[in-house]
Structure 1
Amino acid sequence: MHDTGTVSSSAPAPAGPIAAPAQGPASQTGHRPSPEGEGGSRHARRFGLPVATALVMGNIIGGGIFLLPASVAPYGTISLVAFGVLTVGAIALALVFGRLAQRDPRTGGPYVYVREAFGDFAGFLAAWSYWITSWVSNAALAVTAVGYLDVLLPLHGSPWLMMTAALVLQWLPALANLAGTRYVGAVQLVSTVLKFVPLLLVAIGGLFFFDPDNLGPFQAGEGGALGAVSASAAILLFSYLGVESAAVSAGEVRDPRRNVGRATVLGTLGAALVYLLGTLSVFGTVAHDKLVTSSAPFSDAVNAMFGGTWGGAAVACAALVSIVGALNGWTLLSAQTAYAASRDGLFPARFAEKRRGVPTFGVIVTVVLASLLTVYNYMAGTARVFEILVLITTFTATVPYLLATAAQLYFLFSGQRDRVRPARLARDAVLALAAFGFSMWLLAGSGYSAVYQGVLFLFAGVLVYALMSARAARS
């Protein structure tokens, strides 16, 4: 596999204490890793456009979609307007990542762009923030999946059984990652197809059973139309986290300058289509008064469409497949982010080790940390600490977005990279400003508590940066 981890010789040298004598293998010697690490193995295979698109869609759509219609139903069908606004913002962000990948198609995504624009410290914060988000979110996804598994295999509320199930659900995708990019891509593609079959069944099939009387009021509750849109948007804001997935794994994508942007936009559009049609269909097949109290809206929609009570089991299977696919993708993204930072000396050198095209040490650290957090959650007997950490990730996930869009604005107006025609410059600037505004909205929507605690969590990484800087200075 072609090595995209090394810094391009045409790129300006980033500022910062680690830029010159960096600790990572690439910056130390300039040599490529062994063929086995970069694609010499038959288990390593670069992602084509379909797999890259599946990576984006699979990471955007996790398990939350199966509760979204019930979550926004109390605000009325005006919540679909909020969905539309958010989709525009997500597409703008996707296009910006596509532009950035054309400039610099290396593994690492937001981290790469931010470091090149603003130097080591900003790049480290982007990588640290995204890495935290990845493994904490994996623990949250696994715990969520146990709830759906309980529908199929009753665990009788046993903390030990639930904990074991959550750990198994985390380690299976990790093993697929350790087996090589060939298997990561296969799992991602199959899980995306399998999850979309039942989702599209409701999203498209539900239109044939659509009853306008089920919609309820256009605007429910108090606060006016703007208040209803803002309130529902706050719930929906994080539905599009994951648009950067193809950019983070750009080094494993064939022809990344062309395919990363396409995969990002296609994956985001596909997820948006499923979100909008699925929510609309559930609104039209489940009575509004029942939907606002539903704990399984897609199950209720399937039961309303076809009768019987088998909808719960069908949706539980779809949710499990969806979450396993998301775990598979987020495990890879976590390892890839640490890999890119390690090659520049901003993370420990072990994270730069690759086998079968995958940063194996990063995968192991990701799954171990997520497993420890999961065990602590179940052993403590309360979800409070776990909920706080998950809330923090809603903040940390958007920090790299904000920094990456700022990097795009820097590239456009600094005159240092890819001089473009005035018409394209204006278009790209508008897209970057829209994506920046969307990222700010994401940060604001995470709430005061999440921002406050997220900042503390983010700057805890300053200690790691200081230690890595000191080590680089000594060398």
Structure 2
Amino acid sequence: MHSTGTVPQSAPAPAGSPAESPTALAEDPHGNNGRHARRFGLPVATALVMGNIIGGGIFLLPASIAPYGTVSLVAFGVLTVGAIALALVFGRLAARDPRTGGPYVYAREAFGDFAGFLAAWSYWITTWVSNAALAVAAVGYLDVLIPVNDHRWTACLAALALQWLPALANFAGTRYVGAVQLVSTVLKFVPLLLVAVGGLFFFDPDRLGPFNAGDQSPIGAVSAAAALLLFSYLGVESAAVSAGEVRDARRNVGRATVIGTAGAALVYLLGTLSVFGTVPHDRLVDSTAPFSDAVNTMFGGSWGGTAVALAALVSMTGCLNGWTLLSAQTPYAAARDGLFPSAFTRRRRGVPTVGVGVTVVLASLLTVYNYLSGSGKVFEILVLVTTFTATVPYLLATAAQIYHLVSGRAVDRARLVRDSVITAVAAAFSIWLMAGAGYAAVYQGVLFLFVGVIVYAVLAARRQRKQTQAVEVP
């Protein structure tokens, strides 16, 4: 039974208890009574989802899955179905609890502090590791415009600049984040649609290559390809994580999530299919700029490489802009509830500045490590680590929805059957992705989680000590 009183969002819940109930968000039925006014409407929230999903991934996607053959297109279809299922689950959860934090809020409200912490910790790792990976990938396209890859440290400095510029935009406030997101989303779709739609007119089935080009079974190839592809789909939860900044969040978060995910999936499918059908398979496997190769095949000349490189930089900058905000929102929500250090609660113009700063520093250190190692295998493992760490909060959020459905706490019982089927698909999808990430990625991902368990133990002990001292003081 929920409390009917008003509980401020900034008030931490007692240790070991679930988060405040949705009805405790008070008189505003849309959850708009937070300390900071919401500035994101449906268009910006949708752009945030699409902009974060369609980042650097689409420009690297065809070449990364080409070694598996056209069986990877099957993985693409399965992944799209799973991503849409996750989007629908996030929409239903946000309708029930429209607070900032996304999977963290849902897991904590259903299962308590420890589950919420694991969701927040895993998601936070995902965001800053993804930022490092995107920055490193963006340097490859920047090199087409300005030679920066001739020297390792020049490339490293370029990658660091690509991370810090979006961070500075975030420090300026959420209004500027939304403006950058809208502009970058609009600009990136012009060249993407050119390849996705125009490439179909140059499609040649003989260029597709073998169905299963690797030495794995078809099922194994689909799982392995899907694990890589998930990196390109990260961001499906963007609107839910930033729900505290969305106007009419109960209604707009779900709509923005589904519309943004479906739009991104359509662009991905058409774009990948067009590149597969325009660039010969043996050439695509070794390509470092598959969309540039596709445009050159379509129209001839070398101008395509420059145009697509510019589009890729715009896309990745917009993606880094949105991910930087998301990387700070989850630790902010957890710190507000006493599960992260209290410094993460500091905000300026609606942006958790400490979270942005810590995240960009960690991503920068990881970027420097990547360049010092000089190994492409390390980069690939990092991408797969994000698959594992992202799946943890996805699975916890899906489990929260299962909890609400089974316990009869769902918002709309008339949709019980439909929501149950969608949630089952999302749960199976999340577990399947964990398996497809591979042993090395799961191993490193589990190590990250175990470090988080130690952090949680320290914070919980400090919280308990303060409560004990407060009781002892007369």
Structure 2 length as normaliser, TM-score? 0.88
Any idea what SS the aligned residue of 1:460 has? helix
Superposition pairs for residues 193-232 of structure 1, below 5 Å?
193-220=186-213, 225-232=218-225
Pick the aligned partner of 2:280 from 287, 293, 298.
Answer: 287
Structure 1 residues 223, 391: closer, same or farther in 2, change over 3 A?
Answer: closer
Compared CA separation, residues 382 and 78, structure 1 to 2 (3 A): closer
Letter in 1 for 2:260: G
Tell me the amino acid that sits aligned with residue 434 of structure 1: V
Cα distance in 1 for partners of 2:301, 2:382 equals: 39
Give the match for residue 418 of structure 2: 427
User: 2:191, 2:311 within 8 Å by CA — same for their partners in 1?
Assistant: yes
Q: Does 1:457 align with 2:448?
A: yes
Show CA shifts across 1:150-173 (max 9, x none).
111112522222222111111110
C-alpha distance in structure 1 between counterparts of 2:56 and 2:132, whole Å: 13
- Structure 2 counterpart of 1:31: none
What's the CA shift for 1:55? 1.0
* Match of residue 322 from structure 2: 329
Contact conserved, 1:248 with 1:336, CA < 8 A, in 2? yes
Amino acid at match of 2:422: L
Note closer, same or farther for the CA distance 1:276–1:346 as it changes in structure 2 (3 Å cut): same
Are residues 229 and 182 of structure 1, via their aligned partners in 2, closer, same or farther at CA, if it must alter by over 3 Å? same
- Alignment of 1:439 with 2:430, yes or no, is yes
Distance 1:18 1:182, change over 3 A: same
Q: Percent identity?
A: 77
Structure 2 counterpart of 1:275, one-letter code: Y
1:65-98 per-residue CA deviation (whole Å, 9 max, x = no partner) reads 2222233334443332221121111101100000
Equivalent residues of 1:129, 1:397 under 8 A apart: yes
Are 2:138 and 1:140 aligned? no
Relative distance call for 1:15 and 1:408 in structure 2 (3 A) is farther
TM-score by length of 1: 0.88
1:310 alignment partner, one of 300, 303, 307? 303
Please give the alpha-carbon distance, in whole angstroms, between the structure 2 residues aligned to 1:366 and 1:224.
39
Distance 1:83 1:193, change over 3 A: same
**8 A Cα contact 2:141 2:310, kept in partner:** yes
2:144 and 2:312 mapped to 1: Cα distance?
A: 11
Runs of 5+ unmatched residues, structure 2: 1-5, 26-32, 467-474
The alpha-carbon distance between structure 1 residues 123 and 470, as it changes in their structure 2 partners (threshold 3 A), is: same
What's the offset of the Cα at 1:16?
4.3
Give distance in 2, aligned partners of 1:186 and 1:382. 36
Name 2:464's counterpart in structure 1. 473
* Amino acid across the alignment from 1:247: A
Amino acid at match of 2:387: T
State which of 338, 342, 353 in structure 2 corresponds to 1:349: 342
Instruction: Name 2:98's counterpart in structure 1.
Output: 105
Moved more, 140-149 or 241-250: 140-149
1:30 corresponds in structure 2 to: none
**Does the alignment pair 1:448 with 2:439?**
yes
Residue aligned with 2:45, SS: helix
Q: Write the distance in 1 (CA, Å) between the matches of 2:370 and 2:274.
A: 36
Equivalent AA in structure 1 for residue 428 of structure 2: G
Which residue does the alignment assign to 1:38? 36
Seen in structure 2, the aligned counterparts of structure 1 residues 231 and 107 have a Cα distance that, compared at 3 Å, is closer
Q: Deviations over 1:391-441 (max 9, x none)?
A: 4322111100000000000011113453613xx111111111100011111
Q: How does 1:131-170 map to 2 (within 5 A)?
A: 131-170=124-163
Query: 1:54–1:467: structure 2 CA closer, same or farther, 3 Å change rule?
Result: same
Q: Quickly say closer, same or farther: Cα 1:449–1:223, change in 2 above 3 A.
A: closer
Distance in structure 1 (CA, Å) of the matches to 2:364 and 2:170: 16
2: CA distance between counterparts of 1:126 and 1:442? 16
Deviation at 1:376, TM superposition (A): 3.6
- After superposition, the CA RMSD in angstroms is 2.8
- Matching of residues 40-55 of structure 1 within 5 Å: 46-55=39-48
Cα separation, 2, equivalents of 1:201 and 1:336: 34
- Residue 427 of structure 2 aligns with an amino acid whose one-letter code is F
Q: Distance in 2 between matches of 1:181 and 1:113?
A: 23
Q: Which residue of 1 aligns with 2:253?
A: 260
